[in-house]
């Protein structure tokens, strides 16, 4: 029953939409007839013409979205707006014609039935069974054709609006290509930065330790000193720790074996500031997303611990539809620079996965770093 009502309401909305469309198309026809000569003379349409055209188009859009279920809303140029009006008005008039036929059929049916009920003979035809059956069948077919016509007009209107006023497919593609080029260049830059960082890590950390170790051993041999030997032994342990540390910074093996939650637990343990991790994922996301989420958290946590003076860092990771949402909040001083090395690298990493990356860090805090990673 409710479905029937809903369909009925939809039908009425459609009919009203088409009726209004017939009215507006008359207005558009008048407009085009008045401005046609101007448009023919001037290559670029004058402002008052385009303004009026846009107003008409706004009315059309409102009608289409409210009554005929069109959805697209793109930004159209002057030429496309005028072209739309020029192509659209006949469709509006066609809709008017279809509606007229519907009304005409309804009036005729009512008139004939009323005539028979009051004992008259409309057009000199008596209501015999064969006649009744014949007329009923014809009326049903005509009604069906008419309703189909209404639906077709509405579909036609929707198609025109998409074609002329919707987002231009080529513009969309161009934008997408630009976006892809940018994110590709970004990821290359991010990889290079990462490599530089690893090289620096190796040299400034590990190599120094090994050279110092060699030096200690050299001195120990020259002086035959047990104490220097002991120091060298200590130093070798530290060099190993350094190596483990660098390897972990390059890529934490736990991320592959144990997943995000365990890898992040290590990040929390290693951080000087308390970190609360809330990881609520129904299943393991694809590897790229997992890695991106992990590095986003680690970089943001490192940043917060280093620069913000935070006393608590909150990390939350959850699934919303096809998105994995990573959010790092700290109660520090704010003023984080999204263009800084670490954060811009993260932004590039997230962009390469078609995700969204936002940093909100007003002076006085709190700083919130959010990454939305599509995971379809």
SS3 at position 77: coil
Residue with smaller CB distance to other proteins, 225 or 302:
225
CA 2, CA 141: separation in Å to the nearest integer?
26
Q: Strand locations in the chain, DSSP E?
A: 275-280, 313-320, 323-330, 356-360, 367-374
Closest distance to other proteins from the beta carbon of 234 (Å): 12
160 binds other proteins (CB under 8 A): no
Under a CB-based contact definition with an 8 Å cutoff, are residues 62 and 8 in contact? Answer: no
Residue with smaller CB distance to other proteins, 44 or 223:
223
Residue with smaller CB distance to other proteins, 38 or 215:
215
By CB under 8 A, name the one of 179, 192, 204, 241 that touches other proteins: 204
By CB under 8 A, name the one of 87, 106, 132, 211 that touches other proteins: 211
Under a CB-based contact definition with an 8 Å cutoff, are residues 296 and 369 in contact? Answer: yes
Instruction: Using the rule CB under 8 A, give the single segment among 41-49, 55-63, 213-221, 347-355 that binds other proteins.
Output: 213-221
Residue 278, beta-bridge partner list: 316
Identify the H or E element spanning 60: helix 47-67
Cα of 216 vs its chain's centroid, Å:
60
Closest distance to other proteins from the beta carbon of 339 (Å): 19
Instruction: Using the rule CB under 8 A, give the single segment among 130-138, 197-205, 247-255, 289-297 that binds other proteins.
Output: 197-205
Closest distance to other proteins from the beta carbon of 191 (Å): 20
Q: Which two tokens stand for residue 162?
A: 């998409």
CA 88, CA 80: separation in Å to the nearest integer?
12
* Total of residues contacting other proteins (CB under 8 A): 19
Per 3-state DSSP, the chain is made up of helix, strand and coil in percentages (nearest 5) of 70, 10, 20
Closest distance to other proteins from the beta carbon of 207 (Å): 7
CA 280, CA 326: separation in Å to the nearest integer?
10
97 binds other proteins (CB under 8 A): no
Closest distance to other proteins from the beta carbon of 251 (Å): 24
Closest distance to other proteins from the beta carbon of 230 (Å): 15
Identify the H or E element spanning 202: none
Nearest partner of 79 among 155, 158, 168, judged by Cα:
168
Closest distance to other proteins from the beta carbon of 364 (Å): 30
CA 36, CA 52: separation in Å to the nearest integer?
13
x-marked contacts with other proteins along 293-322 as a string, rule CB under 8 A: ------------------------------
111 binds other proteins (CB under 8 A): no
Q: Which of residues 214-243 bind other proteins (CB under 8 A)?
A: 214-219, 221-223
Residue with smaller CB distance to other proteins, 157 or 235:
235
Under a CB-based contact definition with an 8 Å cutoff, are residues 361 and 335 in contact? Answer: yes
200 binds other proteins (CB under 8 A): yes
Closest distance to other proteins from the beta carbon of 206 (Å): 11
Instruction: Using the rule CB under 8 A, give the single segment among 203-211, 255-263, 277-285, 329-337 that binds other proteins.
Output: 203-211
246 binds other proteins (CB under 8 A): no
The label of the residue with tokens 């990673």 reads 373
Under a CB-based contact definition with an 8 Å cutoff, are residues 324 and 375 in contact? Answer: yes
Sites of contact with other proteins (CB under 8 A): 200, 203-204, 207-219, 221-223
């Amino acid at each position: 029953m409710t479905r029937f009502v809903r369909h009925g309401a939809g039908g009425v909305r459609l009919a009203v939409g088409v009726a209004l469309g017939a009215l507006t198309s008359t207005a558009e026809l008048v407009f085009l007839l008045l401005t046609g000569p101007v448009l023919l003379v001037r290559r670029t349409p004058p402002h008052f013409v385009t303004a009026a055209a846009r107003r008409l188009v706004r009315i059309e859009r409102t009608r289409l979205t409210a009554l005929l279920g069109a959805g697209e809303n793109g930004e159209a140029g002057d030429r496309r707006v005028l072209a739309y009006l020029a192509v659209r008005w006949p469709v509006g008039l066609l809709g008017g014609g279809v509606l007229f036929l519907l009304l005409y059929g309804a009036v005729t049916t009512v008139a004939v039935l009323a005539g028979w009920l009051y004992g008259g003979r409309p057009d000199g035809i008596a209501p015999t069974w064969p006649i009744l059956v014949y007329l009923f069948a014809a009326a049903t077919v005509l009604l069906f054709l008419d309703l189909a016509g209404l639906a077709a007009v509405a579909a036609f209107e929707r198609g025109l609006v998409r074609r002329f006023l919707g987002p231009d497919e080529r513009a969309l593609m161009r934008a997408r290509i630009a976006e892809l080029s940018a994110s590709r260049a970004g990821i290359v830059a991010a990889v290079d930065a990462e490599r530089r960082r690893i090289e620096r890590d190796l040299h400034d950390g590990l190599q120094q330790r090994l050279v110092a170790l060699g030096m200690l051993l050299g001195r120990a041999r020259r002086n035959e000193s047990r104490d220097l030997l002991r120091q060298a032994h200590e130093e070798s342990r530290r060099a190993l720790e350094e190596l483990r540390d660098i390897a972990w910074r390059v890529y934490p093996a736990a991320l592959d074996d144990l997943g995000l939650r365990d890898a992040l637990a290590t990040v929390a343990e290693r951080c000087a500031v308390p970190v609360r991790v809330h990881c609520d994922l129904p299943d393991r996301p694809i590897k790229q997303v997992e890695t991106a989420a992990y590095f986003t958290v680690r970089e943001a946590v490192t940043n917060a611990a280093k620069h913000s003076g935070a006393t608590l860092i909150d990390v939350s990771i959850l699934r919303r539809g096809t998105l994995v949402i990573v959010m790092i909040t700290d109660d520090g001083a704010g003023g984080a620079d999204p263009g800084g090395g670490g954060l811009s690298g993260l932004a590039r990493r997230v962009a390469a996965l078609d995700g969204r990356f936002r940093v909100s860090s007003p002076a006085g805090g709190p700083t919130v770093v959010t990454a939305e990673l599509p995971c379809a």
